[in-house]
Structure 1
Amino acid sequence: MDRREKRPGKKRASGGEIGFTNEQYKQLVEFSPEPILVYSNEIVVYTNAAGAEMIGAPNAEAAIGRRLADFLWSPDVGPSIMEPGGPTFEYGKPTDIMEKKWVRRDGRVVTAEVRAVPIQYKGEPAVQLLCRDITERKKAEVSLRESELRYRQLLKSVPEAIFVHSEGIIVYANDAGIRLLRAQGPEQVVGRSILDFIHPDFHLQTSDRFIAAGQSSGGLELVTLSFIRCDGDVFEGEASSGETFSLLDRKVYQTTIRDITERIRREQSLRKSEKLSVIGQMAAGVAHEIRNPLTALIGFNQLLREKFDGNQAYCAIMETELKRINYIVNEFMQLAKPVPSEYRRHRLETLFDALFPLVQSHAALNDVTLHLECDGDIPEIRCDDNQLKQVFLNVMKNAIEAMPNGGNLRVAAGKEAGHVTIRFADEGPGIDEEALGKLGDPFYTTKEHGTGLGLMICHKIVQEHGGEMKFESKVGNGTVVTIRLPR
């Protein structure tokens, strides 16, 4: 605190001495909120009020003349700032700011940022300590780290996928989030924009919602979005987001994402099942009402063919169309048939052994090769064998007809947890996404002369057996039909 400028009428300190001849400067030091101490030969020769409070002295007068070690003990390893002339000091130069931890005589731990300045005090070497008590700040930092650790441990154990992000950049993802995005590790997710994992069609909507969430305390309400995994797969998910805390005036958000692909599939399956149930109830009545006049029409058409030779072409057309109507009526009747109440246990190999000879000739006509792979340990399933044969036959027939130029139809049967799975994979042209979603709907068909009831009946049979039927296809890559049945 050496003042070098010359002022008339003022005595100045020389040789680095502290003289406190300037009353205003002395008051500045005395009333400084930061602790300032001077000690020489380990004896405190000066301290302001903040310094006395920091070392645990009742006042400045009680500290002056006593050893600094009477008040503080340092558990730090290394050169002590209480040793003037030690390796820490170079005379005339202040040290770098050091962080020191002391224990007071009353047991209170004090943490301070300290800069030591070697000086001369009354001709003796001394050390001036410029301190900043950061004890409470360090406690807050420790508390924050502990809170962050608890927060991370909590998020890590949550089964939902959770992402923490600030200004759109992901700063943390829990294990469930890493699995949801099929990332190899956090490094594939952390540091990237959250928009990287949201389908571009929803970017504008998502940005607007985050702005709205930042302007309110309610956060982001539950929304349904399309997300993109690290491998490029797109899935439907529900997301909710809210402000977690603020860090350096930056808002930090926590977003929870739930994959609802399976739920959507179940809901679609349920709606289709309800539709099947309603149509099944109507089918019997409608078919009965149609069949009576249809029988009469078929009879009269036959009579016309026998009595009037000149109208044979018209009669032939009428017969063809009447047969088609009769076929549709039979399909309705099949849909309305009650499922037998008692099933028996059957082996899948036995069912396919009976089916393959029936489709071999049809496959040969289309130059299609059949392949069957059955795991040897597939358990028996409880089923109506005739109904399952009808389902398998329908699926294989559709697959063969999808390959008019030949190809391979692979049938693979295996077991999963609690289920038996049968997959039919063809090498046909595939089905576009729009048509794929309509398969199994009443009267929807891609065939020129189809009715759209065959797959509908298959769905009904599989569902009555407690199973599910799923279609996967991409244009140019064939179609895979998967049937899962309980053991």
Structure 2
Amino acid sequence: MDAAQFALAKAYIDFDATSEAALRAFHPVAAAHFTAIVDDFYGRVEEVPAARALITGGKEQIARLKLTLREWLDRLLQGPYDEDYLEARSRIGRVHVRIGMSQEFMFTAMNRMRVRLQDVALDGYADDPQTCRAVVRAVGQVLDLELAIMLDTYRESLLEDMRATERLATIGQLAASIGHELRNPLGTIDSSLFLVRQRLNRLGLEDPQLTKHHDRIGTQVEHCGKIINNLLDLARERPPRRKRTSVAELIQLALERAALPEGIAVEVEELGAHTIDADADDISHVLVNLLGNAAQAQGGSGRVRITAYRFKGGTTLTVTDAGPGVPPEIRHRIFDALFTTKARGTGLGLALCRRILHAHGGEIDLEPSEVGATFRVWVPDSELLGGDEAPSAS
């Protein structure tokens, strides 16, 4: 939602200077009840399993969220309701989208706030019906405005997913055609290189310069083959072959395939008996890509940390590096196919990772971080998606 749309939304619900004044006057009355309102809100969250599953940090996280909700209430009733307000509220909405909060929770949350705040107004202004009506009306208006902002962030996310899907479909169709056309000549080059090497060996010819160029051609053919495979994977609509797999074994497989430089120290959080309901080859491909990016971001020398935990009916993996991080201005583009900041990059790696996660019904995100980059991968259990499998508990 931009500033013009925000102004239009305020006009549509008749939210004006009178509404703002009524809310500011109501603030000291309502502030005395904030603790009760916040406790009631999170008490209800803990009673609903689907909502409680979004909170993974236990009582400490709930305590932090309660403080955040008090600050949210303060700004709700004091404003100012300007572009900074819009941006701050939009950021909250994007967090809700990122953690997978369903839109129904947004409606019920706003309704619960509406009821509690309007109850406070009815009690606080029982002897002043005119003021009471003005406050109740203003509370309803500002919460309608909040809901419009929040729902717009879901709309933005949906549109971006649709655009990404359309881009991948177009690229996939082109990739399938180009990939098949290039495989034949590359196969011929590869076979010819093998035959040349065999011939040189039989003739007993050893020429270091010739060997160097022979190996260089072979390396580039292999590199081209990987690009073609990635292009074809983008075009492929193969459903994942899901199977309950040990997270520790999956990470070990990815580390072996990634073949990271010796200068990269990898720290794997104690994983215990965690399992993941996924196509092991696909998810290891994702991890290999993230590990390779982490190594490159640190110039082949640095630290990478891998964690795993259960979250909202699935398994979350994170890969964190100590590199320079991703500039804010390009964070929203890093999963776009063909977008790259590397001199020799193809822009296919992260796009393919996202395609793999979407095929699993999961998510891949770049988490906010002050240092380095943290990528979060979430894979839901197949039973959460309505699959026929009944995965064992992890």
Structure-to-structure mapping, 1:92-131, within 5 angstroms: none
Pair 1:339-2:238 in alignment? yes
Inter-partner Cα distance in structure 2 for 1:404 and 1:456: 22
TM superposition shift of 1:319: 7.7
Q: Counterpart in 2 of 1:348? A: 247
8 Å Cα contact 2:316/2:379 also seen in 1: yes
Paired with 2:229 and 2:78, the residues of 1 have a C-alpha distance of 59
- Compute the displacement of 1:421 (Å): 0.7
1:199 corresponds, among 67, 83, 94, to 83
Q: 1:481 deviation in Å?
A: 0.4
More helix by percentage: 2
Query: Which residue number in structure 2 is paired with residue 268 of structure 1?
Result: 160
The equivalent of 1:383 in structure 2 is 278
Change (3 A) 1:319 1:425: closer
> Is 2:240–2:359's contact at 8 Å kept on the other side of the alignment?
no
Distance 1:165 1:374, change over 3 A: farther
Q: Distance in 2 between matches of 1:187 and 1:168?
A: 14
Alpha carbons of structure 1 residues 284 and 227: separation in structure 2 relative to 1, 3 Å: same
Structure 1: gaps spanning 5 or more residues: 1-162, 203-224, 239-243
User: What's the CA shift for 1:405?
Assistant: 6.7
CA distance, structure 2, for counterparts of residue 199 and residue 433 of structure 1:
20
CA distance in 1, matches of 2:72, 2:248: 46
Counterpart AA for 2:379: L
Q: Relative to 1, partners in 2 of residues 1:342 and 1:473: Cα closer, same or farther, differing over 3 Å?
A: closer
Partner amino acid for 1:432?
A: P
- From 441, 459, 462, the equivalent of 2:357 is 462
2:260 maps to: 362
Q: How many aligned residue pairs are there? A: 283
TM-score by length of 2: 0.57
Structure 2 match to 1:373: 269
Q: Take 2:69 and 2:353, find their aligned partners in 1: how far apart are those partners?
A: 38
Max Rg structure: 1
1:438 to partner: Cα distance: 1.0
Q: What RMSD over aligned residues (CA atoms) do the two structures have, in Å?
A: 4.6
Cα drift, residue 329 of structure 1? 2.2
The question of 1:478 aligning with 2:339 is answered: no
State the Cα deviation string for residues 179-231 of structure 1 (Å, max 9, x = none): 89934368734762333xx434x8xxxxxxxxxxxxxxxxxxxxxx42359xx
* Higher RCO, Cα 8 Å, sep 6+: 2
Deviation at residue 441 of structure 1 after TM alignment? 1.2
Shift of the alpha carbon at 1:297? 7.0
- 1:198-277 superposed matches below 5 A: 198-200=82-84, 225-227=86-88, 253=138, 254-255=141-142, 256=144, 257-258=146-147, 259-260=150-151, 261-277=153-169
| Structure that is richer in strand per residue | 1
Work out the percentage of aligned pairs sharing the same amino acid: 24
Q: 2:318 matched to 1:423?
A: yes
- Find the aligned partners of 2:77 and 2:239 in 1 and give their Cα distance: 59
- The code of the aligned residue for 2:227 comes to I
Say if 2:187 is the partner of 1:289: no
